Structure 1
């Protein structure tokens, strides 16, 4: 019962000399307490019924300055934290001890929700924001509110699936504690039409090597897809500022391999546009770590071996049947073509010893008969490191094998009498049916650089 109602009951009781038992029933107290209320009314009047804590802040109330600091820190330094983590960071970094529920209440008054907020919370805040938006007359304020409403929409909006299997593969990598004690990157490619994982590979970082392994699985198991859909914030658009080495320009390397195969690459600056692969990572993060732990997987090699069987099991449970959807994958390339296409290309100069230096080792270009071929100092050569690690060199219009030059000979003709003279060994030289010419690769690299500058 509120204070004013108690006052009215007691006032009427005293003025009319009414029944105390009836008053006790209305207020919900004993007869003895009614006597106390009558005495207080007669001595102090209406002020007796005002509660002693009226206008007094509770002892556990956070100061206004602290509330504002919590709000400002979340908007700037700790943005996008889930609120449990934010509470821990406040205690550890800012020495502010506050509960998760208190943080939720502070942020909710500003219509800020946790990234882990459920659907009902988002719906309630959206409704409140729309009500405010309908009442405001300021276009600027209405635009700000509309932006807040958009932030509450599904971060991975759904879109119709592609019509055919192999029409578009979404690719990405996810850093997570998949196994062991350290986080690793899982690279995957997901078919948009069926939701099937067509390639998966673990690596320590998000690398060109990881995506090459995924592409190798796609080419070996299915064939050549029509299109890859990736974000342009990672390996596909990565290039250090003022980086002159094309070997480290991973977008150009991956793009050049796809160009040889006739695969289109579509990129987006909005990572959430790849809803299919992003939601796939959500499912994998809740299932795959448990499976890896039960299989006692502790290394990347073991994890990649485990993926071969697990992905088949996963696709059987979650992907749409391939038989009911037409495939537009082109014919699978042979293993030699895949090996030579998924190559890393880099430019080198021939030194005055007719050798070129690659990864701190000296190599000598040799022809198919195993005989060394000499070139003038300063001649430009393109080193081709194939997918299986074999090294070739393209100089002008000709492709050569590269032979490692040891620091010392293993034997001496003068002092080792039993030494058999070494004859040149024949070398495998791939046919010049790939656009490995220096001019062709540099032209493609310049076109990618121009595209980035325009963007």
Structure 2
């Protein structure tokens, strides 16, 4: 055998490792894991050949590839008489499923010109479905913010916005789906120009950030594909890091985003940034606030989240109105 041949026992261990623990991982990512964990360098082409012999294809395989393998398995099924072999082949056929790809759209010219934003509901670790709030720059494909929350919430998008403001600056525009977090219209509204700001859109208005919304997923294909990529890679990385709770997952994202962007984002010298200068932390905190109107009651206090608050002066003296 050639000197570069992978020993048979190592080959079998790699195949078993993929089947037992990483069957939801694409081949390129799995090759990176093998090199990081075991210092064994193999190409995704080699891994593809090994796993094809086991009737396994990448979860990111194209529809044509899935069809070719399915036709091959059906031919094998007709030639097989063993019940056990027939069941194995039928099981392999059942897990092959075609997926539709999102259409591409031209990239923006400048970094910060458009930030596509969305939340993805997924079982990121076993038994826990969280919503990953993501923001990606349309020009470079760089993930500029990410945050886990139990639901798609204002808190999640505020945390993503905070990461963008502190790490990059003020973007020109957000492109999002049509959720009430970003915009709403009152029923039977006689005037289209009435103030229908949500908390998030009001914060954007104060910073001069435009918001565009759409109900068509293909219109913001970059963030939709990014969600698919994260759903493919991130659960594996969380499992490798032994993450079991949402707080640890959000801490892990900080280091993971840097590694992810180094690998996949476009770093072109010709791509200029149109991010405005970062505001002060005090202004950011005052802008990304939840505004809750309250009335002072007859006891000269207000109620917020089942707690009473009494107005005082800077010296701590009670104020009675």
TM-score normalised by structure 2 residue count:
0.65
CA deviations on 1:288-343 (whole Å, 9 max, x unpaired) are 10100000000010000000000000000000015441000000011111111001
CA deviations on 1:11-65 (whole Å, 9 max, x unpaired) are xxxxxxxxxxxxxxxxxxxxxxxxxxxxxxxxxxxxxxxxxxxxxxxxxxxxxxx
| Aligned mates of 1:355, 1:241 — CA distance in 2 | 34
1:369 to 304, 308, 315: 315
Matched residue SS, 2:116: strand
Provide the residue aligned with 2:286 in structure 1. 340
Distance 1:299 1:121, change over 3 A: closer
Matched pairs, number: 224
| Aligned mates of 1:176, 1:306 — CA distance in 2 | 17
Provide the residue aligned with 1:118 in structure 2. 63
| Aligned mates of 1:234, 1:117 — CA distance in 2 | 35
| Aligned mates of 2:64, 2:216 — CA distance in 1 | 22
Question: Which structure's relative contact order is higher, taking Cα pairs within 8 Å and 6+ residues apart?
Answer: 2
Provide the residue aligned with 2:247 in structure 1. 301
Provide the residue aligned with 1:330 in structure 2. 276
Matched, 1:282 2:234: no
Matched residue SS, 2:274: coil
CA deviations on 1:417-436 (whole Å, 9 max, x unpaired) are xxxxxxxxxxxxxxxxxxxx
Displacement, 1:358? 0.7
Distance 1:165 1:329, change over 3 A: same
Distance 1:367 1:239, change over 3 A: farther
Displacement, 1:197? 0.2
Matched, 1:222 2:181: no
Confirm or deny: 8 A CA contact 1:155 1:272 kept in the other structure. Answer: no
Displacement, 1:239? 8.7
Distance 1:201 1:273, change over 3 A: same
2:306 to 343, 360, 375: 360
Displacement, 1:160? 0.9
- RMSD (Å) for aligned C-alpha atoms: 2.7
Matched, 1:268 2:229: no
Matched residue SS, 1:365: coil
CA deviations on 1:387-409 (whole Å, 9 max, x unpaired) are xxxxxxxxxxxxxxxxxxxxxxx
Instruction: Report matched runs for 1:139-150 at 5 Å.
Output: none
Distance 1:121 1:317, change over 3 A: closer
CA deviations on 1:272-291 (whole Å, 9 max, x unpaired) are 21100000111111111010
- Structure 1 segments, 4+ long, off by >6 Å, are 238-242
Distance 1:355 1:229, change over 3 A: same
Provide the residue aligned with 1:314 in structure 2. 260
Provide the residue aligned with 1:176 in structure 2. 122
| Aligned mates of 1:359, 1:237 — CA distance in 2 | 25
Displacement, 1:367? 2.7
| Aligned mates of 2:261, 2:203 — CA distance in 1 | 27
Mark the structure with the bigger radius of gyration. 1
Confirm or deny: 8 A CA contact 1:180 1:297 kept in the other structure. Answer: no
| Aligned mates of 1:239, 1:213 — CA distance in 2 | 25
Displacement, 1:118? 1.5
Confirm or deny: 8 A CA contact 1:169 1:229 kept in the other structure. Answer: yes
TM-score normalised by structure 1 residue count:
0.46
Provide the residue aligned with 1:165 in structure 2. 111
Displacement, 1:157? 2.1
| Aligned mates of 1:210, 1:239 — CA distance in 2 | 22
Q: Which runs of 5+ in 1 are unaligned?
A: 1-115, 123-151, 243-249, 376-455
1:206 to 149, 152, 171: 152
Confirm or deny: 8 A CA contact 1:175 1:186 kept in the other structure. Answer: yes
CA deviations on 1:223-270 (whole Å, 9 max, x unpaired) are 00000000004632479999xxxxxxx960100011111100000011
Confirm or deny: 8 A CA contact 1:367 1:373 kept in the other structure. Answer: yes
